[in-house]
Amino acid sequence: MKSKRHLVSLAALSAVAVLSLSACAGGGSTGGSTNASGNYNISFIQGVAGDEFYISMQCGAEAEAKKLGVTLNTQGPAKFDPTLQKPIVDSVVASNPSAILVAPTDVTAMQAPLKAAASAGIKVVLVDTTVDDPSFATASIASDNTGGGKSAFDAIKQLNPNGGKVLIMATDPGISTTDARIAGFEESIKADSSFNYIGVQYSHNDPAEAARLMTAALAKDPDIVGVFATNTFAAEGTATGVRQAGKQDTVKIAGFDAGPAQVQDLRDGTISALVAQQPALIGADGVDAAVAALKGETVTKNTQTGFQVLTLENIDTTGKDYVYKSSC
Amino acid sequence: MTSTIPILEARGLTRSFGAVRALDHVDFDINAGEVVALIGDNGAGKSTLVKALSGNLALDSGEIRYAGGVVDLNSTTAASKLGIETVFQDLALAPHLNPAQNMFLGREIPAPGVLGKLGFLDTKAMRLRSKAAFDDLGATVRSMTDPVGGMSGGQRQAIAIARAVAWAKGVIFLDEPTAALGVVQTKNVLETIRRVRDKGVGVVFISHNMPNVIEVADRVQVLRLGRRIATFEAKKTNMEELVAAMTGALDGAGA
Amino acid sequence: MTQTAAPTGVPVAPNEQGKAPNFLARLTGIQSFQILLVLIVIFLIFTLLAPTIFPNWTNIRQIVQNVSILAVLGIGMTFVIITSGIDLSIGSVLVFSGVVSAKVMQAIGGSGWGTALVGLVVAIVVGLLWGLLNGFLIAKAKVPPLIVTLGTLGAALGLAQVITNGVDIREVPTVLTDTIGYGNVVGTTIPLISLLALVIVVIFGIILHKTKFGLYTFAVGSNEEAARRVGVKVDRQLISIYALSGALAGLAGLLSLSQYGTTAIAGQSQTNLNVIAAVVIGGTSIFGGLGTMFGTMVGLFIPAVLQNGFVIIGVQPFWQQVAVGAVLVAAVFIDQRRRAAAARGSGSKSKVSLSSLWTRKK
């Protein structure tokens, strides 16, 4: 009967799919609990899978794990979305690894699931982002985002030594990292009397919106000299808006992060400077902290990593290693 | 043989679709316990007339009388309330529902007591009554619980007709009920039409099949270009005459 | 069902000899069982691959807990898809309802049950209003559901951002987070949120399969014109169903607040697609007229179990999406085959009426 045939073929199909996928699974396929011999099993949960920032972090973590002789398994949600990340965290916790490196996608939403992981005896290391109350975490390693904002201002200043009107093109309010960058930038610019800070615009992660906001801002203040764009979409939209207004020679844009797209924008001249984080270092430090904690050694509770400003002058020399990777 | 007041009567019905006048002051009448065949070439307005008389079509002008009184057939529900039922060419069954559900769709029997008030249904009663209705017509519907979409054209035809017959108190319209059927099945449909007529219901039978029309009808009304152009006593006419009337060769003739 | 031969009276086409009388019914009935068996097979494979971890209650428990909110949304989506409609707006309506509810609870203040109850009512009513808007535009204005709910998808999310200025509200009464969010049924380790979802699923499962409302849902999806002709108030039915979907999304909004402790405006980005996928995997036909609540629930667990299992055995995250996508396409393929088989089974003689009965050709 037809129904039976479908049934059998579908069941067989799913069996084959699951088995073949598990066959190509990377290291750590046994899951398994902690063992005393030092062969620790660490899971890294990205904020979003397939993003160069997190891939670079994964590369750094994997290299460090290899060096220390521990197993690292990486997982991540399809989008930067706590409703997608929570089931993954729960599943990872169920697989009972020795330690988890995790970039929480929401400070509140991920609090309870990660606290539960810590309560289950798993060492939790927060990387890049954090949660409301990170006291349960073994360690937190993140870019010094306030410092990143300061670096961004330094870049703007380098591009416009004479000062002038400056705007921030942000994505959405309420994201801890970008809020800190904005705060750092604001602090620096207010301390420098040659610059006139005209405020933050929120482009909601939409380049078209950023372009609209930028043209409107230029209509109001035609003498803007610099824009700090807090992410790629904001930077690209801002560049479009500047070009539409015919001001590409006078307005300098400083972007954040150094993925291949941003580096391309830098080479094209769309963006004049990039503030690069050090995701690989964050990943490596995270693995170090996890292993140290597992071995009972003392762990630095909070580590802040630095930045590198990339411009056309240094992108092929000293800045080369700071470019994010799209694969390890 | 028949009462003097027709059970259903239409006078001067008109309906245009844009520039096309589908019904052009058409008249129609049928008595209780009578089979009236409605014939005409494609586009003569047969289906449009049926839609108008079964509450499926708004009219531009004209008057419909039921048992002598003027009625407003503005919805199928209004027609159903009067006891007018229709079996459409496309059957209008829900293919995923079973025969009993189709039979009672829109007229469900609620479960007794509080459950019924909550919207629960007396499935068993509906099943039994459906089966009784099919048996009454001599129909063999194999299952009361399978979706009708999986049944043969003949079975679905049986369900559609049985549904109309079960609820029709005054008039039943059968739009091309034999178009999709074989010889034996067609014979069964004609037999059903006679049974329904014998129960005192007026049957309007629409068909292109002239031998069938002559065999089962008491009277034949011919439509052409949206008008009734002739009415014949079935026993006193023949195929040649009917075809001539349909094609316009006999314009103005007839009773 | 017994029958006598002798086809007198109304015509009956001879059926194939020896064919089981309940062929189509069994086939449709079996669809949800097929999918259940697939789930069991997947479950067994992961049990073999990770025997110490996968079948543990702690692991099962978290899968069940993570599926609960989607289950509430899946109820409404099952009704909607049975009418051959679609509701893309649920994720946004969830967020919007959560935002309004959180705003109201914030304004009232306090973290007790009184505040929480007001929040619950607000969330459901707000969701209901969005659903009514969807239903009205679909049933009365005759705009296709895909377009209407795509519109409200954007509108609801946009307005949620307008209301909050894009900043999540993170003040949720603690009674909600402690009980519904992460609490267990007293004396057990069963998540309270899952029990709540189960109760609602069972209630609406009964409504779908046992009441007039459910029957009309199938009738509208099966043949809208036929339903209209026999006096079913099709427009009212459609509006009610979209309103139900909206109200359940509102309720899910409150559940989400309880579980995440935040309005998570940027979250729920794939909720609508995940729920639609579950309903379709569960055997509900996207062409309408066919579906079960049980199937939807099984359909929710297949992607959830696959993801969980893959994470545990350490498969790369991208493969999980590939696997879920494959299951989805397989489910629709089987649905199509089933429809084609049903169309063939009904006999080729009645080609005129057949083609009009089945809106989509085999």
Contact A11 C50 (CB under 8 A): no
Q: Which alpha helices (H) appear in chain A, and where do they start and end?
A: 2-23, 52-68, 82-94, 111-119, 145-159, 176-190, 207-220, 232-244, 260-268, 279-294
Give yes or no for residue B79 having a pLDDT over 60: yes
Give yes or no for residue A266 having a pLDDT over 70: yes
Give yes or no for residue A175 having a pLDDT over 90: no
Those chains having 3 or more beta-carbon pairs within 8 angstroms of chain A are C
Distance CA(C102)–CA(A150), nearest Å, equals 35
Q: Which of C338, C263, C310, C235 is nearest to C54 (CA)?
A: C310
Distance CA(C194)–CA(C191), nearest Å, equals 5
Q: What is the CATH number of the domain that holds C267?
A: 1.10.3470
CA distance A114 to chain C (A): 12
Q: Would an 8 Å CB–CB cutoff place B101 in contact with chain C?
A: yes
Residues of A in contact with C27 (CB under 8 A): 2-3
**Positive/negative CA dihedral, A207, A211, A216, A221:** positive
Contact B95 C215 (CB under 8 A): no
Contacts 24+ apart (CB under 8 A), A292-296: A293/A99, A293/A123, A293/A125, A293/A138, A293/A139, A294/A34, A294/A40, A294/A98, A294/A99, A294/A123, A295/A38
Residue A21 has what pLDDT? 53
Distance CA(A181)–CA(A171), nearest Å, equals 12
Residues 6+ apart with CB under 8 A from B225: B24, B44, B45
Residue A12 has what pLDDT? 57
Q: Left, alpha or beta for B218 (phi > 0: left; psi -120 to 50: alpha)? A: alpha
Nearest CA in chain B to C8: B138
Residue C203 has what pLDDT? 97
Residue B173 in contact with residue B53, Cβ under 8 Å? yes
Partner residue facing C346 (CB), from B137, B140, B151: B151
> What is the CA A84 to chain-centroid distance, rounded?
17
Phi, psi angle pair for B64, to nearest 5°: -115, 130
| Best CATH choice for the domain A145-276 from the list 2.40.50.140, 1.10.3720.10, 3.40.50.2300, 3.30.70.260 | 3.40.50.2300
Q: Does C15 reside within a domain?
A: no
In a structure prediction context, what are the per-residue pLDDT tens digits for chain C, which is 362 residues long?
A: 333 333 333 333 333 333 444 555 555 456 677 788 889 999 999 999 999 999 999 999 999 999 999 999 999 999 999 999 999 999 999 999 999 999 999 999 888 899 999 999 999 999 999 999 999 999 999 999 999 999 999 999 999 999 998 788 988 998 998 899 889 998 899 999 999 999 999 999 999 999 999 999 999 999 998 898 888 999 999 999 999 999 999 999 999 999 999 998 888 988 999 999 999 999 899 999 999 999 999 999 999 999 999 999 988 878 888 888 888 888 888 777 777 766 554 433 333 333 333 333 33
Give yes or no for residue A20 having a pLDDT over 80: no
Q: What is the dihedral of CA C214, C216, C220, C223, to 10 degrees?
A: 110
Give yes or no for residue B181 having a pLDDT over 80: no
Those chains having 3 or more beta-carbon pairs within 8 angstroms of chain C are A, B
Residues of chain A with pLDDT > 70: what percent?
Answer: 88
Residue B235 has what pLDDT? 85
Contact A108 C53 (CB under 8 A): no
Q: Which range, A116-130, B81-95, B162-176, is most confident?
A: A116-130
- Do C and B touch, 3+ Cβ pairs within 8 Å? The answer is yes
Residues of chain A with pLDDT > 90: what percent?
Answer: 64
Q: Does C347 reside within a domain?
A: no
Nearest CA in chain C to B104: C230
Neighbours of A59 (CB within 10 A): 19
- Residue A31 vs residues A19, A24, A45: alpha-carbon distances, Å: 16, 15, 15
Q: Does C4 reside within a domain?
A: no
Fold of A32-137+279-305: Rossmann fold (3.40.50)
Stretch(es) of chain A classified as CATH 3.40.50.2300? 32-137+279-305, 145-276
Partner residue facing C357 (CB), from B95, B146, B192: B95
Q: Would an 8 Å CB–CB cutoff place B100 in contact with chain C?
A: no
The pTM score is: 0.82
Contact A31 C41 (CB under 8 A): no
Strand pairing category for B84-87 and B8-17: unpaired
Partner residue facing A111 (CB), from C58, C166, C261: C261
Residues of B in contact with C4 (CB under 8 A): 140
- CATH of segment(s) B1-83+168-255: 3.40.50.300
DSSP reduced 3-state for A288: helix
The residue of A13, A19, A22 whose CB has the most chain C CBs within 10 angstroms, and thus the best one to mutate to test that interface, is A22
Contact A7 C37 (CB under 8 A): yes
Neighbours of B79 (CB within 10 A): 25
Residues of C in contact with A41 (CB under 8 A): none
Residue C347 has what pLDDT? 39
Phi, psi angle pair for B70, to nearest 5°: -70, 135
Contact C264 A83 (CB under 8 A): yes
Q: Would an 8 Å CB–CB cutoff place A328 in contact with chain C?
A: no
C-contacting residues in A 185-204 (Cβ below 8 Å): 202, 204
The percent of chain B in helix, strand and coil, each rounded to the nearest 5, is 35, 25, 40
The residue of C3, C8, C10, C362 whose CB has the most chain B CBs within 10 angstroms, and thus the best one to mutate to test that interface, is C10
Q: Does C330 reside within a domain?
A: yes
- Residue A183 vs residues A147, A227, B139, C45: alpha-carbon distances, Å: 9, 15, 82, 51
Neighbours of B65 (CB within 10 A): 16
Q: Does C362 reside within a domain?
A: no
CA distance A54 to chain C (A): 13
Contact C350 B156 (CB under 8 A): yes
Distance CA(A204)–CA(C161), nearest Å, equals 10
Q: Does C144 reside within a domain?
A: yes
Per-residue pLDDT averaged across A225-241, rounded?
A: 90
Rg (CA), chain B: 19
The residue of A90, A91, A328 whose CB has the most chain C CBs within 10 angstroms, and thus the best one to mutate to test that interface, is A91
Phi, psi angle pair for C290, to nearest 5°: -140, 135
In the sheet that holds A252-256, the strands lie side by side as A195-202, A164-170, A224-229, A252-256, A273-276, A308-310
CA distance C283 to chain B (A): 14
Residues 6+ apart with CB under 8 A from B20: none
- Under the banding of pLDDT at 50, 70 and 90, the label for residue B58 is confident
Distance CA(C125)–CA(C110), nearest Å, equals 21
Residue C76 has what pLDDT? 97
Residue C357 has what pLDDT? 32
Residue C109 has what pLDDT? 87
Structure tokens, C358? 């089945």
pLDDT digits (tens, 9 = 90+) for A42-89: 999 999 988 899 999 999 999 999 999 999 999 999 888 999 999 999
Q: Would an 8 Å CB–CB cutoff place B48 in contact with chain C?
A: no
Looking at the 3D structure of chain C, how many domains does it have? 1
- Give residue C125's domain range: 34-337
Per-residue pLDDT averaged across B32-55, rounded?
A: 89
Kindly write down the DSSP assignment for every residue of C210-249, as one continuous string.
HBHHHHHHHHHHH-HHHHHHTT--HHHHHHHHHHHHHHHH
- Under the banding of pLDDT at 50, 70 and 90, the label for residue A11 is low
Residues of C in contact with A76 (CB under 8 A): 317
Nearest CA in chain B to C234: B106
Neighbours of C187 (CB within 10 A): 6
Contact C1 B154 (CB under 8 A): no
DSSP reduced 3-state for B42: coil
Structure tokens, A80? 């930067």
